[in-house]
Amino acid sequence: MTSGPLFHEQTARQRIAALADTGSFAELLPPPERLTSPYLVQLGIPVSFDDGLVIGRAKIGGKKVYLAAQVGQFVGGAVGEIHGAKLTGLFKAAARDRVPCVLIIESGGVRLHEGSAGEIAIAETMRAIFECRAKKVPTIAVIATDIGAYGGMGILSTCCDFRVMTEHGRLGISGPIVIEKWMGKKAYDSSNRALVWKTSGGKTKYLLGDADALVHDGADAVRDAVAKLLGKSSPVSLKGVKERQKELEKRLKRFGDTADPDAVWKGMGVRNIEAASLASGPEFAALAKRGK
């Protein structure tokens, strides 16, 4: 166990300060620039000086990175026009300068109050992420809170080379409340926390191979995992996508008719469900690896 504050309880700015080498973070378009949303103002909703996204240059373990964190408390970390343009710009800068880009995601997706502008911004950012990948510039998404990465941001996270998650992190597209409304409480009771967590939580994502690291809920552990991935990249290749196609086909065939998440855990080699549920992120990762 590492000491220090829990990563999921920190604010976006605290997370950045905790991941970056001391004093290395230089914010781009910082709060005094006052880039606030013209949409929210006209709707009578409070604005924020960073529009819910903190971006900048930093070093992690002595290595140059571009680093960003979404502010989940501000309109659910959702992506509006300015927020999205900052995101696109940062990944474009990363591709241009061949500097890895680390994004701490905490977002429900597109900011509905700004309509389609945020949706287009997410699509533009995806293009920029793949620009990085084509140049073998690592792109890393960190997902560590229950606001998680949902909607367009969930999809965007899967475009990055790597995803680092904690057991608190959740990754998906439609959130539990939306699905409950759609399918009924019988099919998905959004108040059943264990079920929600086993549907979209870090442990299940790690087991299935959609998260590349599952770490303790602390800045040190997240930073170590990110630092390990900074030297790696996974450019898109024909061989790679063919393997992934097979893997995803197999997953769907094995579990497509399975409503029970425990069956998925068992199918992926977890023998003692209760022990695995109680295990911390890294303990769980070790158990999963050994098939216990």
Partner 1 sequence: MKKPTSKKPSARAVLARLFGASAKGIAMEKSVLTGYATVGGAGVCVIGTCDGTYIDNAAALRLAAHVIDCVEHHPKTPIVMLVDSAGQEPNRVAEMLGLASYFGHLLSCLELARRKGHKLITVATGQAIGGAFICYGMFGDRIYALESASVGLMPIEAMSAVTKIPVPVLQKLSKTLPSLEFGAKPFALLGGVQEVWSAKDDVQAKLAKAIANSSTEDNRAELGKKRGGRKLALDVRKRVLASSLR
Partner 2 sequence: MEKFAKAFPSKPLPSKTAKPWALAGVVGSGNLEVLLERGGRPSGTMECHVETSIPGYKASWLAALADFAHHYPAGGTKVTINDQGAPPVLVNLRLRQAYDHLTKGDK
List all residues 6 or more positions away from 241 whose beta carbon is below 8 Å from its beta carbon. Answer: none
Q: In the complex with partner 2, which residue's Cβ is closer, 45 or 248?
A: 45
Q: Is 47 in the site for partner 2 (CB under 8 A)?
A: yes
Among 1, 3, 44, 237, binds partner 2 (CB under 8 A): 44
Question: CB of 268 within 8 A of CB of 288?
Answer: yes
Q: Is 233 in the site for partner 1 (CB under 8 A)?
A: no
Task: Describe the crossing of helices 176-183 and 193-200 by its angle, rounded to 10 degrees.
Answer: 110
Q: Which of 290, 268, 109 is nearest to 198 (CA)?
A: 268
Q: Provide, rounded to whole angstroms, the least separation between the CB of residue 32 and partner 2.
A: 5
Q: Provide, rounded to whole angstroms, the least separation between the CB of residue 25 and partner 2.
A: 10
**CA distance linking residue 58 with residue 73, whole number of Å:** 23
Q: Provide, rounded to whole angstroms, the least separation between the CB of residue 204 and partner 2.
A: 28
Q: Is 73 in the site for partner 2 (CB under 8 A)?
A: yes
Q: How far is CA 139 from the centre of its chain?
A: 11
Q: Which stretch binds partner 1 (CB under 8 A): 9-17, 199-207, 216-224, 283-291?
A: 199-207
Question: How distant, in Å, are the alpha carbons of 159, 195, 196, 197 from that of 187?
Answer: 29, 11, 12, 15
Among 71, 103, 230, 279, binds partner 2 (CB under 8 A): 71
Q: Is 13 in the site for partner 2 (CB under 8 A)?
A: yes
Q: Show contacts with partner 1 in window 29-58 (CB under 8 A).
A: 29, 35, 38-39, 42-43, 55, 57
Among 18, 123, 227, 268, binds partner 1 (CB under 8 A): 123
**CA distance linking residue 185 with residue 179, whole number of Å:** 9
Q: Provide, rounded to whole angstroms, the least separation between the CB of residue 33 and partner 2.
A: 10
What's the N-to-C CA distance of the chain in angstroms? 21
> What is the per-residue DSSP string for 43-98?
HT----TTTTEEEEEEEETTEEEEEEEE-TTSGGG-B-HHHHHHHHHHHHHHHHHT
Q: In the complex with partner 1, which residue's Cβ is closer, 109 or 282?
A: 109
Binding stretches for partner 2 (CB under 8 A):
11-13, 17, 30-32, 34, 41, 44-49, 71, 73-74
